[in-house]
């Protein structure tokens, strides 16, 4: 029994003496965002559609509430891991990131939402990592190529001319969104919304350009028989 208490005390001491780096945590948090594509895999059934509408909305409402309470000082900022100094007195980037994903999932066709979400989840942390090793110019070129690849992969069912147009415009928008940092609007929001707005303009113009709309990338799953 004494040994057990000693062990617990030692473990507590170890935990308290740990130091950590929030750097990789933020990178993994970004990459985790890709898991939200599960939204499109859910079967197209009435009650699941209700869940698809309410669950993301409730998550965002909870996040906004927490953030408001943090900014008002009702909740200690100590509970928010990985915040940067500039986020101490403004809305955290994670909320911008989540709100942009919610807007894309709810109001944009998946052909636009998927590449824009992936630009923020995959290309953004890679660009961030490259920034430590290379100059700005190289980072933007690699970022542009990465976003271009993401758009090409997600629009592969479209006509070749449309793929090129969307990929170039979308990748350009994503890089512009990533480079523009404002105090009141985070780049995690911009990297998703700038390409989405640019591509939705092309989307509206598709019939006038003589192209046809591409098919969806992810198809809803099939409802298991036992449900």
Partner 1 sequence: MNDQKMQYVKNINNNKKLIRTEIILTPLLVIAPIIISLLLIFDWFTRDFLTNELDLFGELMLGIIIIIVNIMFDIPFIKSLRQLSRKK
State the nearest-atom distance from the C-beta of 210 to partner 1, in Å: 23
Please select the residue that binds partner 1; options are 41, 61, 62, 145, rule is CB under 8 A. Answer: 41
Other residues' Cβ atoms within 10 Å of the Cβ of residue 87: 19
Q: Which stretch, 18-26, 65-73, 135-143, 189-197, contacts partner 1 (CB under 8 A)?
A: 18-26
DSSP string, 38-51: GGGGS---HHHHHH
Asked if residue 119 lies in contact with residue 191, where contact means CB atoms within 8 angstroms, the answer is yes
Other residues' Cβ atoms within 10 Å of the Cβ of residue 196: 25
Q: Binding of partner 1 at residue 227 (CB under 8 A)?
A: no
Please select the residue that binds partner 1; options are 29, 56, 179, 197, rule is CB under 8 A. Answer: 29
Contacts with partner 1: how many residues (CB under 8 A)? 52
What tokens appear for 107 in the block?
A: 């109001």
Q: Binding of partner 1 at residue 102 (CB under 8 A)?
A: no
Please select the residue that binds partner 1; options are 6, 9, 10, 25, rule is CB under 8 A. Answer: 25
Site for partner 1, residues 145 to 204, rule: CB under 8 A: 150, 153-154, 156-157, 181
Q: Binding of partner 1 at residue 122 (CB under 8 A)?
A: yes
Q: Binding of partner 1 at residue 213 (CB under 8 A)?
A: no
Per DSSP, 157 falls in state T
What do you get for the CA distance between the two ends of the chain, in Å? 49
Other residues' Cβ atoms within 10 Å of the Cβ of residue 12: 10
Other residues' Cβ atoms within 10 Å of the Cβ of residue 78: 8
Q: Binding of partner 1 at residue 48 (CB under 8 A)?
A: no
C-alpha 77/C-alpha 91 separation (Å) is: 12
Query: Which residue in 117, 115, 132 sits closest to 188, CA to CA?
Result: 117
Please select the residue that binds partner 1; options are 2, 5, 74, 76, rule is CB under 8 A. Answer: 76
Residues engaged in binding partner 1 (CB under 8 A): 15-25, 27-32, 34-35, 37-38, 41, 76-88, 114, 118, 121-122, 125-126, 150, 153-154, 156-157, 181, 215, 217-219, 221
């Amino acid at each position: 029994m004494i040994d057990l208490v000693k062990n617990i005390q030692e473990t507590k001491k170890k935990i308290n003496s740990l130091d950590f780096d929030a750097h990789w945590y933020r990178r993994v948090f970004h990459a985790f965002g890709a898991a939200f594509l599960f939204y499109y895999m859910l079967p197209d059934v009435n009650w699941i559609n209700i869940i698809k509408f309410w669950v993301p909305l409730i998550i965002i409402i909870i996040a906004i509430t927490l953030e408001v309470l943090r900014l008002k000082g009702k909740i200690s900022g100590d509970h928010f891991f990985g915040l940067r100094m500039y986020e101490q007195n403004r809305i955290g980037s994670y909320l911008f990131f989540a709100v942009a994903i919610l807007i894309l999932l709810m109001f944009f066709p998946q052909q636009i939402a998927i590449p824009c979400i992936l630009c923020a989840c995959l290309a953004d942390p890679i660009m961030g990592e490259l920034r430590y090793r290379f100059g700005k110019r190289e980072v933007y070129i690699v970022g542009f190529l990465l976003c271009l690849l993401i758009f090409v992969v997600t629009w592969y069912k479209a006509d070749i001319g449309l793929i090129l147009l969307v990929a170039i415009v979308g990748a350009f928008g994503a890089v512009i969104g990533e480079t523009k940092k404002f105090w009141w609007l985070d780049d995690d929001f911009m990297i998703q919304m700038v390409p989405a707005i640019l591509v939705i303009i092309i989307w509206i113009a598709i019939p006038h350009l003589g192209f046809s709309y591409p098919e969806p990338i992810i198809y809803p799953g099939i409802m298991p028989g036992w449900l």
